[in-house]
């Protein structure tokens, strides 16, 4: 590394077709990920609600198990 501005510019290098192609692929992948995430929102929301419901009801099921009620009956 030197303090010469011309040498610093040479180290960075120009924007090449390879760089443009990589940038284009990155943009396409980000758009595809966004579309995939948008399409999965209903499923992810459903899983989130189910997990929250299971966490909220687990203490009740454990309490019923302590009173010798089988877990399948407690859950139902």
Local mean pLDDT, 10-residue blocks, the chain (76 residues): 58 84 97 96 95 94 92 84
Q: Which two three-digit tokens encode residue 38?
A: 């948008």
The predicted pLDDT at position 1 comes to 53
The residue among 61, 59, 57, 63 whose CA lies nearest residue 74 is: 61
The predicted pLDDT at position 58 comes to 93
Furthest-apart CA atoms within the chain: distance in Å: 81
The predicted pLDDT at position 13 comes to 78
Q: The whole model's pTM is what?
A: 0.52
The predicted pLDDT at position 2 comes to 55
- Boundaries of domain holding 25: 5-75
Domain count, the chain: 1
């Amino acid at each position: 590394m030197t303090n010469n501005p011309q040498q610093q510019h040479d180290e960075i290098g120009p924007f090449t077709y390879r760089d443009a192609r990589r940038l284009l692929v990155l943009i396409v992948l980000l758009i595809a990920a966004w579309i995939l995430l948008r399409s999965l929102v209903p499923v992810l929301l459903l899983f989130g609600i189910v997990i929250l419901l299971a966490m909220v009801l687990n203490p009740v099921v454990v309490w019923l198990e302590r009173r010798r009620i089988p877990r399948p009956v407690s859950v139902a």
